[in-house]
Structure 1
Amino acid sequence: MQWKLVSVLLLGLLVLSSSSSATVPSKDVSPALAEKVARSYVQWIAVNIPDFKEWRDATLGKPVTYYFPNGEKSAYEFAVFKNGKNVGFILVSARKDMPPVLEFSKAKPPSWKLEKVKELAEKKGYKTGRLLYYGALTYSVDIGNGKAISLKDMKVRKYLINVKLQFTNNLESSLGKSSIGIYTVDGLVIKSISGVPAWTSTDYGGAYYIDYPDNVGPASDPWDDWDGCAAIAASMIIAYYEPQLQDDWNREAIIDVLHHTMNIDYNGGSYWWDQVEGIKNFKEEWDSLTGWIVSDPVYHDFTATFYEEFSSYDIITEVNTNHPFMLGIENPGSAHAVTGVGYVYSQESGDILYIKVHDGDEVKYITNGNWQDADMIKVRTT
């Protein structure tokens, strides 16, 4: 992905080139330049992505810098404001050998949770350092000794120093065609599956006095507060096919049942083979609880298939046929599951630019390949 310092900055989209100024290292992007990129992309997103019309003429907050574990800058976070109200954030690359925009969302900026993380770190005896970002959804705070606290779920995780992200797409050809006041791009295909809930678990954990299945629903769980990203991601797919379960009580019930059928551990971790079996066994388990724990029926049996490798074609096929999928994102020391529901595709480059995901209750667009590794679980009903 190249970046071009040209007048298109003032017209619409900016793509930077390998040419650099004398004051900026060859691969580094300055905060000032990143802000210009962010402003251009915010306007492009407002016009081209249907979910973001309110971003037109939005303003930006000051840049917040993230780093790779090796100390190099990785990204700049900009809060997006409209009429003084926060309406999301955009994450711009701090390097010219990465795509200009790494993520954007209408969710609150991840760094806004920094004070909570600092309080937690102090209670645990940690000293907080730099903000880290080393792949999609990995925003965290360095606490030393190869460990970081996630800005999303407040969990302590190990990280590796060396990171290699697998970016697959070149955006230059399709994102350099803006004209003044229009901010349109030729050859974009934008698709999204409607009806998929975006939610997360809100019940408490640590209830050692409760055994499964007495915890099913909004009651406190016998495991940790975090039910597990796999259970949450799969629950949104289940509820998409079973819309009668799209209420608060059943949300917690689906997640709790999946936590059980997926064999998720106390801290929320699981393996892909257990995730697949957990989806397949969901209806049988739900049916066994019907009438005494749960009341609403489940009408479908579910099948699930794991793909260690997948292509843009797989994502396009799932979305075009209205099948939300689980996307497992792996980065050094971090594994996270989200629900895939859409894409932004460039006909000119012949690849997906952004994948639309439900990261719990937050809807985000992540750059295709913004990870060290990734896998997919396709789900069907019978």
Structure 2
Amino acid sequence: MTVGTDLPAPGTADAARETPDATTPAVVRGDGTTARSRAARRWRRARWAVLVIGVLLLVVAVLAVTRPVTSSTPYSPDNPGPGGARAVAQVLGDQGVDVQHVTHVADAVSAAGPGTTLLVTPSLLLPEQAHALAGVEADLVLLGADDTLVGAATDGDVGRVQAPATSGYPFAPGCDLPVAQRAGALQLVSGLAADPTATRDVTLCWVVDDRAALAQVERPTPGGTRTVTAVDDPSFVRNDTVLEDGNAALALGLLGAHEKLVWLVPDPLDTSASGDTSPSAGSVLPPWAGVVGLWALLVVVVAGVWRARRLGPLVAEELPVVVRATETTRGRGRLYRRARSRGHAAAGLRASTADVVARRLGVPRSADPTSLTDAVSRATGRSAHDVADLLYGPPPPDDDALAELARRLDTLESEVHRS
């Protein structure tokens, strides 16, 4: 009998089986899935999260690119609204005054040196911030300042008093200050008064019943003197009122006395003072960071609520694969061995033995260890100390001790069953 020549050479069949071709089907795992199906399932789960993150990044990018150069902060030099002061700042800039807009007290203190003007707009300041501003060598212009700042800047020579209602019509300044004379008659709220015990001359303008709208004092500095001007009514610098009467003349006269003007509009969250050397978190973040952060927080909350409602209540499902108890036990044992958790493993063995012998002897689950130990001791003839050491002793120090403990517990169970 001859062997056909068309049989494959030795090893050819094995090589053919090991070499995949284009018709080889995708490898299927034991759970009935392929790599492509698993990737598709992961994408379906993550696509909404990816979409939300992408929209968030897009909005942040748009806000960063299209951030407006103006603001809506009252009395701010970049606010073109009725409550802002952009008109005065632009006119001062056209006249050659360098207007420096700051929002932190520490920045204002460092920038306001001799030969400059420091403007402080209405705000709530900490006592240490007020004293830091009062100690600068620049000329101070205080608009609507509180009693703490006014008293610190004038050494107590000027204070705040209850301001009466406006008279309803402009009235003359009643003082010889050149800036007041150029402004002429104005309609301002008067809420400043000079201390009768003041040691230096205090100039009061637009006075009604011993209450003035403007108070000015001279204060000595290491390099000479400086002027402190407090105006109780700050409305004369606002965009909606600066063109009324002589408000523009008063604003330009007070703020344009020097070539440099430091315009402080304090940030409500600012706690800096002259002694601070490290920048605060707010000083290194862009102005829109707070708005974007709040918007992102709202998006996260809404997305969390939406996903929680979409998941719905928990549904019990049957396991796709039945795992044998022996496999589970062996797997747990391997985990204990890998983690060297001999104490945990010993506790599991002792608890199982205690449960078995307690059921055999009719000891209830609520029984204390002493009752169970006594029952086992009577049933097996062992001493109570030996039984307690087996069931409630210390954890084994090594693997050999753990194996010996398992053997002794098994012996104890067999003795109880034979009794």
Q: TM-score range by the shorter chain?
A: under 0.3
Q: What TM-score does the superposition give when structure 1 sets the normalisation length? A: 0.21
Structure with larger Rg: 2
